Amino acid sequence: MAELLQHLLNGLVLGGTYALLGIGLTLIFGLMNVVNFAHGEFYTLGAYVSFAALALAGAGFFVALLAAIVVGAALGWLCEVALLRPLRNESIDTTMLVMIGVWIAMQNAELLGWGGVAKSIPHPFPTAPLVLGPVAIAPLRLFVLVLAAGLIAAAWLLVQKTKLGRAMRATFQDRDTAALMGVGIGRIHAATFAFGSALAAAAGALLGPIFLVYPSMGDLASLKAFSVVILGGLGNLPGATLGGLLLGIAEELGAGYISSGYRDAAGFVIIILVLLFRPSGLFARQERIA
Amino acid sequence: MRRAGGWLLAAGALTLPLWLQSPYHVHVAIMAGIFGVLAMSLNLLLGYTGQLSLGHAAFFGVGAYTSALLTLKLEWSFWPALAVAVGLAGAAGFFIGRLALKLRGAYFVLVTISFAGVISLLSVNWIELTNGPLGLPGVPAPALGPWSLRTKTAYYYLVLAAVVLSYAVCRRIVRSRIGRALVALRENEALAESIGVDVTHYLVLAAVVSAAMAGLGGSLYAHYTRFVSPEVFLFTYTVTMVIMVVAGGKGTLAGPLVGAVLFTVLPEALRAVASWQWQMLAYGVLLVALVFFLPRGIVPQLSAAIGGRRRAEPASPTPRS
Amino acid sequence: MLAVNDLAVRFGGVTALERVSFEVRPGSITSVIGPNGAGKTTAFNAITGYLRPTGGRVTYDGAALTGLRPSAIARRGIVRTFQKTSVFPALSVEDNVVTGLHLRSTAGFLAVLAGRRRLAAEERSLAAEAADIIEFVGLTHRRREAASGLPYGEQRLVELAVALAARPRVLLLDEPGAGMTGAEKVVVSGLIRRVREQGVTVLLVEHDMRMVMGISDTVIVLNGGRVIAEGAPAAIRAHPEVIRAYLGASAGSS
């Protein structure tokens, strides 16, 4: 039983960051209809920024996280304005190809810039795990869990309560009405993409210190983000949150009880199964598939 | 004019090893040929049905591993192993096709990536079968009767035969009612159904042929490099195939071949100047640039420049905007 | 003969069609009319397999059509056009129509691979047949041009040509006159009559009353998802319920 709880706890830590990845992508893929295969690259970017801040600049953990978020948002904004905006009236396949190009370019730029050797991000936390009853958790992981929860809450608040969030939801549900109401469509698109990318970067900065940082880590992150989005339903924030947690737990349980080598298969299997049987996602309202 | 050009090309291809100086050059030609087969296979899906498969490395890998395992562990001869490899890859294509029945666009891409991901994980973890990350060394060279096709020149002709066969199959399909059905499903699926095109049937057909052809490429690759490892599932291979098709001209017959030659020769030529990481970086930038500036790819652009107002072919290379 | 029995279509809480029953006499031109939202296109979608009805049956010559996919229904000889212009945009007019001739040939995968000479002859005859159909709709001068580049009215003619290529026994036209000029509508009406002369049964949805009254043998009126009248054009024109439906619709609608 204790083992199960341990796995669940580890799964929550992982899942919290997956939720961040998923929320970011569900906004970009679900609302903006952009097939962002480069989403994982923003995750990697966040991890490398965090590395640079912590290992090279000797900054604190919060500063590193903040830096990752800012850089992610800025690059996301740039991407949208320079690449996606001109293609806004093209088919979804065209933007997909462009984002694949960005994916390849970003990953290899990171490979060239940082080298292929995995890096370890130093962190200020003690390594001895905290024992909470039947389970133990490393202080770093607990911190990551708390921060992830905080960021998820902040994301929800932004989307639900702020003017920007309302504008975002209005724009993507009914573009024409939103335009009529004076919402700057271009700015909303850029802001949404920047926001989604910032969340991915945050996820990278949070998970980076737990695992190693290497240029191709984004590939799996992208896939898992898509997995979460499909699980939770496109554009569905609570769905993405729950989906992220579920994926994290599924991975931990799979690694613990089946085999650690197949850990990453959870994301793939979810994609295949959900698209086969419940394409609108587990949490979406029952829709008629046209 | 075009027929003379065709004969010239054929003569050149048939005599290539004679006037290439070093074995290294023949090696490049062989790799170009193998990737030509792979690019043509991807083009069948991407160029004609309009569905992108980013998991094509899975079919490539299935072909490579099947062929290698059958010849290594069961000591089969090359030719039946090749046949089974092609068949198994085709079966994987059938599986994907049926799986992705109602999925289009991004969802189709995701399923193909996931499938490739699962196969890749299997190749790494199922050590009893695949020897895991260490791979399978010592894959035997093919033999044609008593003659071993071990030399580069001999292998070149094997690959050339495969290229010609693949091209012929693609051409026959594309210029037939099957090709028209595929294009119809790309251009307007609802309309295609209304005139009697069973869209599912043709999508699965395209997936099977495409996957089988990729399996052929995989087998050729395995018996050439004499070594198969989970690295065949690396995303770089899929990316390279996509670039070849998109740059060469998707939805054309010559496009993928032009792309394959270009993106095999170019990296080798630039090898002294730029490492493969720089080249991959360039690929990424190039893909973006292509989408903006040359969306139809090289071949359609060239033939438009040469031929003036072209006669639109059934498998027209003009993509939907 | 195309027969619709108790057809019902419900989405969630909305009933789009309810107990719709009618028969389409072979060789006739039958029009389905009704105010916006009456369920006309929904009925077309249900008949041709693009929508699964919640209840009822559609049969053709006694054989059930309900539950079949659109391509299977097309194979039975029931072909439809779409409300929104539907062509194969990147293909030339010629290629659009040749593609439409899909059902004329039965060449399967193996036959195509073997590449027999018979196939080449077949391709030639398909090209000739396409040329005939293109001439029938009057687009021979446009045959090499990409369909997406044609003006709207001509694109709808391409659409008609593609549908005709599929050799329908029953042709369902969804608003063939929509967006057309008066002159274009006359051309289309003439084409519809000539199509009927060749033995094709025509069922059409249309809003243009003059066009409807001019070519129809029978008119079926839908309102609120139900059939409220059926009969000859003159009778329908004077039918009190029909007048009420249209007046009510025009009085209350935007």
* Residue C254, pLDDT score: 42
Closest CB from C86, C95, C102 relative to B190 = C86
C-alpha C114/C-alpha C118 separation (Å) is: 10
Task: Categorize the per-residue pLDDT at B312 as very low, low, confident or very high, splitting at 50, 70 and 90.
Answer: very low
Indicate the SS3 state at residue C21.
strand
pLDDT, tens digit, 9 for 90 and up, residues C185-230: 999 999 999 999 999 999 999 988 888 888 999 999 988 888 888 8
* Residue B313, pLDDT score: 42
Chain B from 102 to 121: CB within 8 A of any A CB: 102-103, 105-107, 109-111, 113-115, 117-118, 121
The nearest alpha carbon in chain B to C73 belongs to B196
C-alpha B30/C-alpha B25 separation (Å) is: 9
* Residue A243, pLDDT score: 92
Indicate the range of B83-87, B127-131, C87-91 predicted with least confidence: B127-131
Q: Is the pLDDT of residue B11 over 50?
A: yes
Q: In which residue are the tokens 């699964």 written?
A: C52
Residue B153 touches partner C, C-beta closer than 8 Å: no
Closest CB from B106, B281, B320 relative to A96 = B106
* Residue B318, pLDDT score: 33
Q: Is the pLDDT of residue B253 over 60?
A: yes
| Residue from C215, C216, C213, C214 nearest C238 by CA | C213
Please state the pTM of the whole predicted model.
Answer: 0.86
Check: CB of residue A148 under 8 Å from CB of residue A208: no
Residue B254 touches partner A, C-beta closer than 8 Å: no
Closest CB from B50, B239, B321 relative to A104 = B239
Average pLDDT of the residues of chain B: 86
Average pLDDT over residues B165-193: 92
Cβ within 8 Å, pair B177-C162: no
Cβ within 8 Å, pair A104-B283: yes
Q: In which residue are the tokens 């071993």 written?
A: B148
Residues of A in Cβ contact (< 8 Å) with B54: 100
Q: Which chains have 3 or more CB–CB distances shorter than 8 Å to chain B? A: A, C
Q: What is the mean pLDDT of each run of 10 residues along chain A (290 residues)?
A: 85 92 90 88 94 84 91 95 88 84 92 87 82 83 89 90 82 68 77 94 91 88 90 87 93 84 84 80 45
Q: Is the pLDDT of residue C23 over 70?
A: yes
pLDDT, tens digit, 9 for 90 and up, residues B138-155: 888 888 777 787 888 889
Closest CB from B235, B278, B288 relative to A101 = B288
> Which ipTM was obtained for this model?
0.90
Indicate the SS3 state at residue C69.
coil
Average pLDDT over residues B223-231: 91
Tally Cβ neighbours within 10 Å of residue A4. 13
Tally Cβ neighbours within 10 Å of residue B138. 9
Nearest-10 crossing angle of helices B2-19, B23-43:
140
* Bridge partners of residue B136, in order along the sequence: B228
* Residue A282, pLDDT score: 66
Percent of chain C scoring above 90 in pLDDT: 46
C-alpha A183/C-alpha A95 separation (Å) is: 23
Cβ within 8 Å, pair B107-A104: no
- Pick B306 or A66 by higher pLDDT: A66
* Residue B183, pLDDT score: 93
Residues of B in Cβ contact (< 8 Å) with C91: 183, 187, 312, 314, 316
Token duo for residue A76: 């996301």
Domain boundaries of chain A, sorted by first residue: 24-217
Q: How far is A265 from chain B (nearest CA, A)?
A: 6
Q: How far is B213 from chain C (nearest CA, A)?
A: 14
Instruction: Provide φ and ψ at B229, rounded to 5°.
Output: -140, 170
- Pick B198 or A266 by higher pLDDT: B198
Query: How, if at all, do strands C170-174 and C201-205 pair?
Result: parallel
Average pLDDT over residues B289-293: 90
C-alpha A223/C-alpha C44 separation (Å) is: 40
* Residue B238, pLDDT score: 86
